Amino acid sequence: MVFVLKLAVNDFRNIIRDHMFVFLFFAYPVMLIIFSRILVHLVAPRIEDMFPLAGRFSVVFMFFLIAIPMIYSFIVAFLILDERDEHLLTVLRVMPISRNSYLIYRMFFLSLFAFIVLLIFPPLSGLIDGTQFSYLAYIPVAILFALFTPFLALLVSSFATNKVQAFAIFKIGGTVFMLPIFAFLLNLGNLRYIFSPIPNFWSIMALDSVITDGTIDIVSLVVGFVFHIALIGVLFYIFNKKN
């Protein structure tokens, strides 16, 4: 436990030293909340006659919930790339803490912060109708969304050999992982399952049930957890083999 606290302190120091990390870690979640508030109270009422934006708030909410773990996965991936460049992952082979334990810590430490932001975002955003939205039903969905942080971080750090490639993977991933939203934006019905190979499709399915009915979609939740954990396990293995 003491070693984990030391690692956490060191991580905060690394984050604070980098202006981009500071912005992403602290400022970006606040900006999402401020933007959603501006959208709800200033923009939407003025353009409601031309474009009924209020009816799309749930889709905007989904978009932001995907963006939150992506931001924290970006920080994790770049911390790992820095450590790999400094040969820290090689040094870990002879350290008291095992390499796997360190990587598990690295994957899930910032996932905790993603989860915290995911928890506080719904009431602060103003995008969700509180009469239908069940906060208790939302908590396991927030955990599922937080699992996207280690998944994407491992995906990038496993296949990117440098930061330029990492940026490229994030750009491509940012497009691909936003695609499931179109299933709800365009009301595709059962055709939405064409997006089911994308892991966060199941997170959005579970979220949609919470938003519309205030209930837990057990099937989507279970499939989402199994899918994410399986992908994280595979990527963890690939990362260890390559590094």
Burial track 75-93 (b if 16+ CB lie within 10 A, e otherwise): bbbbbbbebbeeeebeebe
Which of 69-78, 101-110, 115-124, 134-143 bottoms out in mean pLDDT, i.e. has the lowest?
Answer: 101-110
Distances (CA, A) of 191 to 45, 184, 195, 207: 32, 10, 8, 18
In three-state secondary structure terms, 133 is: coil
Residue 38 has pLDDT above 60, yes or no: yes
Both tokens assigned to 234: 């595979």
Res 152: pLDDT: 94
By residue count, the chain amounts to 243
| Rg (the chain; Cα; Å) | 19
Mean pLDDT for 164-177 is 89
* Residue 152 Ramachandran class (φ > 0 left, ψ -120 to 50 alpha, else beta): alpha
Contact 73, 152 (CB under 8 A): yes
In 3D space, the residue among 128, 148, 139, 118 whose CA is nearest the CA of residue 216 turns out to be: 139
pTM of the model: 0.88
In whole angstroms, what is the distance from residue 4 CA to residue 8 CA?
Answer: 6
Q: What's the structural domain count of the chain?
A: 1
DSSP per-residue codes, 209-227? HHHHHS---HHHHHHHHHH
Res 50: pLDDT: 47
Range of the domain at 180: 2-242
Residue 120 has pLDDT above 70, yes or no: yes
In 3D space, the residue among 123, 141, 115, 110 whose CA is nearest the CA of residue 210 turns out to be: 141
Res 197: pLDDT: 93
Res 230: pLDDT: 96
Residues 62-77: tens digit of each pLDDT: 999 999 999 999 988 8
Provide the 10 A C-beta neighbour count for residue 61: 19
Mean pLDDT for 198-223 is 92
